[in-house]
Structures are given as C-alpha cells and as structure tokens.
Amino acid sequence: MISDCNFHLPTLPEPIDLQLVKNKALLDKAIDVEFNICKHGIEKTLDAAFKKADSLGLTLVNFMILDSDFAKNLCNIDFNIELKEGHYLTVLIDPYDENAAKHIDSAYQKGISGVKFHPYLQKIHEETYSKIQELAMLAQSKKMWVAIDCSYGTDLLYKVNGVDLCAYLLNSGYTGKLLSLHFGGPRIFDVMSLMAQHTNIYADLSLSLSYWKGSSVWDDLNFAISRVGYSRFIFGSDQPFIQFDKAVTDFEDFSTRYGITTEVCESIKHRNFYEFLSEI
C-alpha cells in the first residue's frame, strides 16, 4: 500500500518532468492552475485530481490546494465537495485576511481536514507569526492539522523560513498535528531538532527527496530518520511538480542506498500517514 500526504491538484495527460528547462511552459501552466483553481473551475479540477489519485492506486491521499481564494469562497461554492474514504483536503489560508478565522471555520464545516501556510509564496515574515499562531490554535480546536511549507530556496532564501515558523508555533502552545512539508531540504537538521523535542511534528518527504538527490541532503535525511525514528516521516510526491512514479522510485533508491528495511519503507509509504490521520 502507498499513500501520499502532498498531492497537488494540477493533473497532466501524461507523465512529464516539469523540472526540465524545456518543459518550463508546462510548469508555468501547472502553477497557474495551482494558484488560481477558482478561475480554472473548482469542480473540474478537483474531479481530475481525485481520478488521478485513484488511477495511481493510492490508499490515502491529501490533496493540497494552493489558491487562498478557495478557502475565502467556500461559502459561495454551489456544489458539495464529496470526499470518498481516504481522501483529504488541505487549504491555503491567507494570514493577512481579517476574515481568516471565518475561512478556517468554513473549511471545517465543509469537511476539510487541514490548513496550510506557505512562507515564501505568501511572503510571511516574523511579525506575522503571532497571527498564524492564533489561526493554528483555532484549527487545533477543530482537530484540523496545520501544514507549513518548509522548502528551501527562491529569492526569499534569507527572508522567510518555514522551519522557523514551525519552531514558533511549537513553542507558543500549539500541540496539534504539524506537518513540515518537504522536510526543510538542507534545513533537515533544524526539523530533526524540533522532532526530537516535540512529538506532534511530522516531516513530509515530498519534493526535497527528489530535488536534492545526489547531494549530502540525503545523508542528512538518513541521519535524521535514524536519530529521531522513522515513525514521523511520511511519503509525499508533490505531483505533478515531481512525477509520482519518480517520487516513488527516488524513495526506493534512498531506501536501498541506506539499507532501510522493508518494514520501515512500508511505514513511511503508508502506515505513518495512517497514524497521523488516526490521531487527529
């Protein structure tokens, strides 16, 4: 069995490596759909993503919505979001919106399971952390998880920091489930340190596992898994920005390289996400 905790909504007619320079136009189109799902047709985009996940045989899947207007317009959506068993949604919340708390409540009423904050996309700086902490506590009260994008890079490299935001939340009273997306890439040791102290933070392996393949980040990730234990590391693909099959193959290569047992692989590919969901 395999589950995916970070499955993005744009779907492609056939597997294409969007990381290749020659496919930049397709990447830009996928990003446009990702960030503007409300303009491209919510129902159609969701349905295509659901069918794609089912075609891949995923047992559990968390669909990631990166258009904050989706959460803002939930009250106006004229169709029911019908999630089959094993399907979950995480929505991006705009921390600068004065009605953000109402949007979280609307998401909860619609059966959405998680909220997300994306530091470099939303240009989140330290002065906004206290507001996000309030929103995270609201989500926690509704037994919704909080996902923080912890990828590393862009021209905001030294101006925003998802791992730093995770640390702030964990040290400000948040005790709900916290999903550190992309495990911080080169900042994996920082995430590992948080995981060693706080048992409610989980690390998602999407994107960074493939992106940093061939670098010392793999050694550091293996060290982190060995040090804090494998039970809070969860497989994710970040499809279509990383092809799903490539994400699986890269994880298998990682497991082979470091001698990770079949039992541990199965836990990371499925059981850990199941436990994450069951403990909400």
Ramachandran region, residue 151 (left: φ > 0; alpha: ψ -120 to 50; beta: rest): beta
Average per-residue pLDDT for the chain: 94
CA angle 64, 67, 73 (to 5 degrees): 110
User: What is the rounded CA–CA span in Å between residue 223 and residue 218?
Assistant: 9
**Percentage of residues of the chain with pLDDT beyond 90:** 81
pLDDT at residue 13 greater than cutoff 80: no
CB 3 within 8 Å of CB 15: no
| CA 178/CA 239 separation, integer angstroms | 21
Q: To which residue do tokens 């056939």 refer? A: 14
Contact 17, 23 (CB under 8 A): yes
Q: pLDDT tens across 31-44, in order?
A: 888 889 988 888 89
Domain extent for 180: 4-278
Contacts of 279 (CB under 8 A, 6+ apart): 177
What would the mean pLDDT of 173-188 be, rounded to a whole number? Answer: 97
| Residue 230: closest CA among 206, 266, 194 | 266
Of 231 and 10, the structure prediction assigns the larger pLDDT to 231
- Burial track 64-93 (b if 16+ CB lie within 10 A, e otherwise): bbbbbbbbbebeeeeeeeebeeebbbbbbb
Query: For the chain, what is the domain count?
Result: 1
Q: What is the CATH number of the domain that holds 75?
A: 3.20.20.140
Q: Per-residue confidence at 17, pLDDT binned at 50, 70, 90?
A: confident
